[in-house]
Amino acid sequence: MGSLGWPELLLIAVVIMVLFGSKKMPDAARSLGRSLRIFKSETKGLVGDDAKDKSAAPAQPAPAPAQQQIPPAQPVDGTTLNGVPVSQDQANRPS
């Protein structure tokens, strides 16, 4: 594939002018310019945020979330197992 030269770019520009008309072209160019300006300012803002983060005090690592402790199994006395009622034949059955 060859690269686009001046004749091809001129042909593309003429086709765009015919499709959109001369009245909508300035509005489209203005909108594109605004969009690019906004995009440029936002990317500069992101770079500025990174610089602020690096200059700020180093962040301390967040403490690890507390793990939920599971109570140890209670001895099977025929009535409960971890607080759940158990029948006598379930209590005597091997696990």
Domain, as residue range, for 18 = 7-55
The answer to whether residue 27 sits within a structural domain is yes
The answer to whether residue 91 sits within a structural domain is no
**80: helix, coil or strand?**
strand
**22: helix, coil or strand?**
helix
DSSP-derived secondary structure letter, 81:
E
The answer to whether residue 34 sits within a structural domain is yes
Determine if the pTM surpasses 0.85: no
The answer to whether residue 45 sits within a structural domain is yes
Per-residue model confidence as pLDDT tens digits over 27-69: 888 999 999 999 999 988 887 766 666 666 555 666 767 777 7
Q: Assess contact for 92 and 79: CB atoms under 8 A.
A: no
Number of domains in the chain: 1
The answer to whether residue 40 sits within a structural domain is yes
Identify the pLDDT of residue 75.
54
Interatomic CA distance for residues 51 and 42, integer angstroms: 14
The answer to whether residue 72 sits within a structural domain is no
91 C-beta neighbours (distance < 10 Å), count: 14
